[in-house]
A and B are shown apart, each in its own frame.
Chain A
């Protein structure tokens, strides 16, 4: 699947396009197919998101997994600070990135 990501303009937080809005959770990302550029241009023009771009990802039983490790780190947070990731209760969450 192709999903759309960027950073929130105000906070800089990593966000994912969920079909109608931007979510902090990669699992909310939807397949944008060939509409990525159109949505990105519209959202950037509306000043809601910074430098949005489309990436390849896969949906499996555990949720949505970006194809590239850099986007998996973005999705989770720094692997060396499990307390600051989006899964702070899971000390092993960083393993998902590798």
Chain B
């Protein structure tokens, strides 16, 4: 057992981080938010950036080399999506990633693919589609979609009412699944759509992990700089303990997300989702609290992390479904 990043994985992580820092740093993020406007109506995808991501192999990471991909696995995809989550990279990244190899141009970053996130669990509300107006290809049936005013200025959303049953089957392409078959061993393959939906869940959890890591860093940096009562607010225990718990939640989520990327086990993925959602949403909330009045402004970045975390937490299966499947697992006889 060696549950640590390999040198290659570290190099990949650094590479993606540097690429994104150069191409989608803080100024770019603020510019995108300014263009989107308070109501998000001006949100546009940067096609140039999308192509650069394609050229760098971001969408083709898991596509076999024979098909023009990078030929890596789910752990590497998770590391890349964690970095994307850290900088709040906008766009239907997961749908495009999963479409690489089946939708022409997706792997190269030439085609923007979105998907109907069609879970209808009886609670109403219908399915959501991110970035519908900007996408070239939609997986699933988005007819009759109506825009809603997205809470996250950088994630335009449409609502689709008419989807029935579980997610629209076959909505994702399945290169990841193929890849998983090649690698063998422990990879989840219930049905094609099911497995890819699982991978979508995991990549979303990876983005949440990146967001959680970043809000912890932001809170700590602010707590060191901001002075009140003649000393840094980070010297107050109430603030310290908020920050400590942010780190604890982030490190728990990291272990869960990375492990799920190795096993691709559906229950490991459910675990990763629950822990990463918790780390991202509560992390952004606590980060906001540490920033005081500044945290309540549009100008500070904190709110964008919180809003994106909310959007991601709504994707795919609900918390209730994950908790129920993890509960059901407890009744199974122990495997050794």
Do A and B interact? no
Residues of A bordering B, CB below 8 Å: none
Residues of B bordering A, CB below 8 Å: none
